């Protein structure tokens, strides 16, 4: 089977659109629901005309369909747990057996523990039910994990951990229903042990744990199946987090206009250092490629000749020897500022960052522009404003937001840490990684899932920071600019494939932009 992750196609515009009179609000296909929200929808479904049994039948049918689309008939062992996830497993077992597959079912917990729809699904399975244990996996050509769903209520105990290890060591591919057992759908964490799946089929909407690591890696390919959840059962849900997608920001994407000119497309100013000169150049090129009309690199005088010789369409100007920025900031048309790539930790860096912030313009702070405040984060955090975007990786984030016992609200999973940091700083925070989280001070939060592993290479962060600055210069609001740049960065990398260097990324942005234009009908 293919390991290609599959995500649901959007069925239209995504925002969580306001309802027309008399019509239920439509939940964005990119909304990520917490397990508690999903359970609330399950409970609300019968009153909206769709019984739990019908949902379970549709869930089981979706899983059986996905399995049959990927594997040829092989001996299947379905491991069922005590709740509705186990109920789905019984439905899958019956459907695969009816399709002629050799199927065995093993139950973890007593038959008496099964309730309601799950008990009825078990009744409809006419074959034998073995006790779940390592022995039951012998001869399996495919294992269906229907032990536990997304709402993990506690860490797996010893017997469940042993079963999980047995699944992972059985050597057969695994299809997980809803989540790989042991993964907490709320946050992507797995306290104790978790099944490693090759395919995960979830229902209705994805959960944050499908996108956040380590959950994302445990899922294998991910399919979100439509099981006919009635819109009315979803209408009261207010999603706290979305998967990154152009539907969330394409309406404010700053495409060049026929009546535009370069100043209308904005002027990004990148302040560079005198070491790692390539970093600021990468940022400049990305800013220009993604949409800024003009880009200027302000550089220490010692680096001017090298930078000017290496750049063509990007303007290069020398800062005074003391690094003062008043002259370079005097032109108000320089409407988006970036500092950090290649800045180094020289003593003047802090002053430069604070001077840029004091200008009150859209501003991206990356890398050393963050790290130079490691010993006094409040000096930075108190100077931030609502048009700032911070782009820390985990190490830089920890230096700013977890410096001591008084760090407010920055514990917890990646999403909550990013959100707390955005609130504390009053700025957009892009907490980078394979599962980049973008958080706004007003509570909006997006998880990105299109970044290939090849982006883990020197300089790719500089390109991202430049991309955000370019979109800010072109007039995009900070949160949307961050989401769009992260998405385009991931797409550009994906199109390049293996072997990419950061210097390839700016040149791949036109292709990514063309794909975006195609997707959004621009």
| Distance, first Cα to last Cα, the chain | 35
Known binder of ligand: residue 42? no
Tell me if 184 contacts K ion by CB under 5 A.
no
Which residues make Cβ contacts (< 8 Å) with residue 4, sequence separation at least 6?
221
- Interface mask (CB under 5 A) for K ion, residues 151-180, using x and -? -------------------------xx---
Tell me if 83 contacts ligand NAX by CB under 6 A.
yes
Three-class secondary structure assignment of 72-105: CCCCEEEEECCCHHHHHHHHHHHHHHHCCCCEEE
Known binder of ligand: residue 328? no
Q: Which of residues 374-413 bind ligand NAX (CB under 6 A)?
A: none
Known binder of ligand: residue 418? no
CA dihedral 69, 70, 75, 81 (to 10 degrees): -90
209 binds, among K ion, ligand NAX, none (CB under 5 to 8 A by kind): none
Known binder of ligand: residue 226? no
Q: Which of residues 134-193 bind ligand NAX (CB under 6 A)?
A: 148-157, 160, 177-178
User: Which regions of 260-382 does DSSP assign to beta strands (E)?
Assistant: 267-271, 294-299, 315-318, 336-339, 362-366
d(CA 80, CA 86): 4
Tell me if 81 contacts ligand NAX by CB under 6 A.
yes
Tell me if 450 contacts ligand NAX by CB under 6 A.
no
Q: Which of residues 6-45 bind ligand NAX (CB under 6 A)?
A: 38-39, 42
Determine contact, residues 495/512, Cβ cutoff 8 Å: yes
- 3 state SS of 378: helix
Tell me if 447 contacts ligand NAX by CB under 6 A.
no
447 binds, among K ion, ligand NAX, none (CB under 5 to 8 A by kind): none
Q: How many CB atoms lie within 10 A of CB 42?
A: 19
Tell me if 88 contacts ligand NAX by CB under 6 A.
yes
Mutual orientation of helices 504-520 and 460-473 as an angle, nearest 10°? 50
- Binding residue (CB under 5 A) for K ion from 117, 145, 187, 480: 145
Place of tokens 């883990």: 456
- Interface mask (CB under 6 A) for ligand NAX, residues 221-240, using x and -? ------x-x-----------
- Beta-sheet strand order (sheet of 336-339): 31-32, 241-243, 445-447, 437-439, 428-431, 388-391, 362-366, 336-339, 267-271, 294-299, 315-318
- Binding residue (CB under 6 A) for ligand NAX from 29, 30, 87, 234: 87
Tell me if 56 contacts ligand NAX by CB under 6 A.
yes
Between 177 and 329, whose beta carbon lies closer to K ion? 177
**CA nearest neighbour of 217 among 241, 243, 189:** 189
Q: How far is the CB of 172 from K ion (least distance, A)?
A: 15
Enumerate the known binding-site residues: 84-88, 145, 149-155, 178, 181, 279, 342, 393, 432-436, 461-462
Enumerate the known binding-site residues for (6S)-NADPHX: 84-88, 149-155, 178, 279, 342, 393, 462
Residues that bind ligand NAX (CB under 6 A): 38-39, 42, 55-56, 59, 81-88, 148-157, 160, 177-178, 203-204, 227, 229
């Amino acid at each position: 089977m293919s390991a290609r992750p599959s995500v649901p196609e959007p069925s239209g515009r995504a925002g969580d659109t306001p309802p027309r009179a008399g019509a239920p609000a439509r939940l964005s296909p990119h909304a990520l629901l917490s397990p508690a929200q999903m359970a609330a929808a399950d409970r609300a479904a019968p009153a909206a005309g769709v019984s739990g049994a019908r949902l379970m039948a549709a869930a089981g049918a979706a899983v059986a369909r996905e399995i049959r689309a990927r594997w040829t008939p092989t001996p299947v062992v379905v491991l069922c747990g005590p709740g509705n996830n186990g109920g789905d497993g019984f439905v899958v077992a019956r459907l695969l057996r009816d399709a002629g597959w050799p199927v065995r079912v093993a139950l973890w917990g007593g038959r008496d523990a099964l309730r309601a729809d799950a008990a009825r699904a078990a009744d409809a399975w006419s074959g034998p039910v073995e006790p779940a244990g390592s022995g039951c996996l012998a001869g399996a050509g495919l294992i269906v994990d229907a032990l536990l769903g997304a709402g993990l209520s506690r860490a797996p105990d010893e017997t469940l951990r042993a079963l999980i290890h047995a699944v992972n060591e059985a050597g057969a591919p695994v299809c997980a229903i809803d989540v790989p057992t042991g993964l907490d759908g709320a946050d992507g964490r797995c306290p104790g042990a978790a099944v490693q799946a090759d395919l995960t089929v979830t229902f209705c909407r994805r959960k944050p744990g499908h996108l956040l690591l380590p959950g994302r890696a445990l899922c294998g390919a991910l399919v979100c199946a439509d099981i006919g959840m009635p819109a009315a059962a979803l209408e009261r849900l207010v999603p706290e987090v979305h998967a990154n997608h152009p539907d969330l920001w394409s309406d404010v994407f700053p495409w060049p206009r026929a009546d535009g000119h370069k100043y209308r497309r904005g002027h990004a100013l990148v302040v560079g250092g005198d070491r790692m000169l390539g970093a600021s150049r990468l940022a400049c090129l990305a800013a220009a490629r993604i949409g800024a009309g003009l880009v200027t690199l302000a550089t220490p005088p010692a680096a001017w000749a090298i930078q000017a010789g290496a750049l063509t369409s990007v303007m290069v100007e020398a800062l005074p020897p003391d690094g003062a920025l008043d002259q370079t900031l005097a032109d108000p048309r320089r409407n988006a500022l970036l500092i950090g790539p290649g800045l180094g930790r020289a003593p003047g860096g802090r002053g430069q960052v604070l001077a840029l912030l004091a200008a009150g313009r859209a501003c991206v702070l990356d890398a050393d522009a963050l790290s130079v405040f490691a010993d006094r984060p409040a000096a930075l955090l108190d100077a931030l404003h609502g048009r700032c975007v911070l782009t820390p990786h985990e190490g830089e984030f920890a230096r700013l937001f977890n410096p001591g016992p008084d760090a407010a609200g920055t514990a917890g999973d990646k999403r909550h840490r990013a959100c707390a940091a955005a609130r504390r700083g009053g700025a957009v925070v892009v907490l980078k990684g394979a599962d980049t989280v973008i958080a706004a001070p007003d509570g909006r939060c997006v998880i990105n899932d299109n970044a290939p592993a090849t982006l883990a290479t020197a300089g790719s962060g500089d390109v991202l920071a430049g991309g955000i600055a370019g979109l800010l210069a072109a007039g995009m609001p900070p949160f949307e600019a961050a989401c769009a740049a992260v998405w385009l960065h991931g797409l550009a990398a994906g199109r390049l494939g293996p072997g990419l260097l950061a210097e390839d990324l700016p040149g791949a942005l036109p292709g990514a932009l063309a794909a975006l234009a195609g997707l959004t009908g621009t």
